[in-house]
């Protein structure tokens, strides 16, 4: 079933009296608007094409058809893009993440170099909301997303997984590159001028980075593996990026690697 989309045309098509009987024309226009409001875009295109062909004379028909269809396609593209975005942070949403992960496994760059996936969580975010309120917390979320996406490689993207948890998808990155990208993002967030929002505010994130080493790669295993490593980073003191070395040992990137107590969850084939 097509998803319901609440769409209205800003400029309804006017029917010239000089042309053919307006009843069939108006019927096509009405049907087009109703189909578009329900998300049946291809059917709406065909109805609108029929209406314009009835309205226009042969000498103007191609131009008018193209103009009207281009307008409808632009509206379709805008609504489609909005449906893929999280309304608060403008990052991609969970629906887009799930759909894109499934298609990326067949991408040539992923088949060649694999794909990194990081689950990123804002440390102690509940305390931020409790102390400052949810509108303030929303501003923190928006700035974290901006820093997460500030230096992503080509083809990579950030998606809101839920609440204060985000996914960084890094197609074509080998394990070392994926960890380095996430560690740089963690540092940017740690060093961000949070005092511009409040003099006492400090925000950090923890992340777990998994990679598609299993053949064939499996999306669910990749997500679970990244989530396990995220909780290892939190268990090691937070503000850290956790990953697995080739031996299977869980390690932390950068300066956090010197910490003594790093949880070692069971190994997963991901």
What pLDDT, on a 0 to 100 scale, did the predictor assign at position 9?
A: 40
Of 164, 165, 200, 245, catalytic: 164
pLDDT tens digit sequence for 165-220: 999 999 989 999 999 999 999 999 999 999 999 999 999 999 999 998 656 668 88
Active-site residue 164, yes or no?
Answer: yes
224 exposed, middle or buried (CB, 10 Å; 0-12, 13-18, 19+)? middle
**69 pLDDT band (50/70/90 cuts)?**
low
pLDDT tens digit sequence for 119-166: 999 999 999 999 999 999 999 999 999 999 998 999 999 999 999 999
- For residue 38, the tally of other CB atoms under 10 A from its CB is 17
What pLDDT, on a 0 to 100 scale, did the predictor assign at position 35?
A: 77
Higher pLDDT, 57 or 178: 178
| DSSP symbol at 130 | H
Give the chain's mean pLDDT.
82
What pLDDT, on a 0 to 100 scale, did the predictor assign at position 200?
A: 94
Residue 76 has pLDDT above 90, yes or no: no
With vertex at residue 244, the alpha carbon angle to CA 239 and CA 246, rounded to the nearest 5 degrees, is: 150
Closest to 61 (Cα-Cα) out of 29, 8, 19, 120: 19
């Amino acid at each position: 079933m097509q998803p319901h989309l609440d769409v209205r045309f800003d400029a309804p098509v006017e029917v010239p009296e000089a042309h053919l009987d307006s009843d069939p024309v108006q019927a096509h226009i009405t049907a087009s608007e109703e189909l578009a409001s329900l998300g049946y875009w291809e059917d709406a295109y065909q109805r609108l094409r029929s209406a314009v062909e009835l309205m226009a004379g042969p000498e103007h028909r191609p131009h008018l058809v193209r103009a009207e269809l281009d307008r409808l396609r632009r509206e379709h593209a805008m609504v489609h893009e909005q449906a893929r975005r999280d309304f608060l942070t403008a990052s991609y949403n969970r629906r887009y993440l799930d759909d894109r992960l499934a298609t990326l496994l067949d991408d040539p760059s992923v088949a060649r170099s694999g794909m990194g996936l990081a689950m990123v969580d804002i440390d102690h975010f509940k305390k931020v909301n409790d102390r400052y309120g949810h509108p303030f917390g929303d501003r923190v979320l928006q700035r974290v997303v901006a820093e997460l996406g500030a230096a992503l490689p080509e083809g990579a993207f950030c998606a809101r997984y839920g609440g204060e948890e985000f996914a960084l998808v890094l197609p074509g990155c080998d394990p070392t590159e994926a960890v380095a990208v996430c560690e740089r993002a963690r540092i940017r967030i740690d060093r961000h001028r949070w005092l511009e929002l409040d003099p006492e505010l400090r925000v950090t994130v923890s992340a777990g980075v998994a990679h598609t080493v299993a053949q064939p790669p499996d999306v669910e295993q990749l997500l679970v593996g990244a989530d396990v490593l995220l909780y290892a980073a939190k268990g090691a003191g937070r503000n850290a990026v956790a990953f697995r070395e080739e031996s299977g040992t869980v390690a932390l990137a950068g300066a956090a690697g010197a910490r003594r107590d790093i949880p070692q969850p069971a190994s997963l084939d991901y």
